Structure 1
């Protein structure tokens, strides 16, 4: 039995785009995550029901492949499928299509369920995972991990604002993308397009934290590495692959 698929359309609006008129990568990830939440709601596994048990879904890693980012006013289709799971990890696939059915973006994500009070992973309850009709596997995926920044080409500091905090009481994931890419020079962002991103979350960031975003640029290989830190704590790592805009 294959896992249930879910799809929904979205019109890209101007406040979701950047100066180039393209949908920002953080906003796109938010939309894909929303599609998974909408599927869960349709299946009756709402955040409220999960939260009543003192649990919450947490993303540990995304691997994103980009053919092109959607443009302002474009109507896109977001598709998602919770493909497989084991005792502790759920693996979900996402895809974004244009109206002609062309695949624009794919994302493979790893989720865990956390005990909100103990801040520890818990085993996936059968009644929560069964409605998705995902395949059970004993295997744990060994996805490549981003390397940390060794020689920073640039860095910026941020203070976490009240508006940066979501209903889970920590920083919404979209801000990590903004902090990371903002550490790159504007000239680089205007002359290159993102084609792949591997982002791994290690530790949550909270209201009032002082965040440092550091980037290392490998111009020969069109690769950037990013680290988000609070003090000595590594909160998030990412590697990005780029192509020159011609």
Structure 2
């Protein structure tokens, strides 16, 4: 069941999203070669504590950290570790959310550490563009969920990239994950509800340089590309209000 949010509920979700964006915007100047992914996670945790909000992901279905931090071939759900050291040229996907009195945000960005392979840089640029096109499609009159999917897939596929099929975007706001699912590819076999006022959606292209195929590591969480090539991941939370589409994960 898709949960439509009231204006009052969206106001609190918006506040959580604005704070999430403020945190995310601080990360590029913090992340540096030589630090661990645990250091990034601690930075995010401390930020939330200072602002008197809770990490949405910490202990969610047993996840042991504030942020999912995935490097290079890791697509999503990387577990922060003191042993995982960041190097020049790495792609660092930081995916996190805030729980503000039972109202949830969700946001992800893939950061490039220093200078990287031009092909990897292009992958990040195209994936970010996929997100923009998906959001644009969601805001069109009469749009349906798979209009988002089609916009993301068309661009990524035109570059020969692998579009992840095992994971997708989703509703969000009163829980970490809600209906509807928002795949990054089109299928006649999946639901395709119309986008309506009151929907809050997390749109998140996950695009691989090589194959679309993924596998889960032994820790039961971290998803990696099957061919070991890098992946990029960008995500924003949006809302459909009486005034139209609004990107919530922006810094106020």
Q: Same fold (TM over 0.5)?
A: no
Q: Which has the higher helix share?
A: 2
Larger Rg over CA atoms: 1
Q: Which has the higher strand share?
A: 1
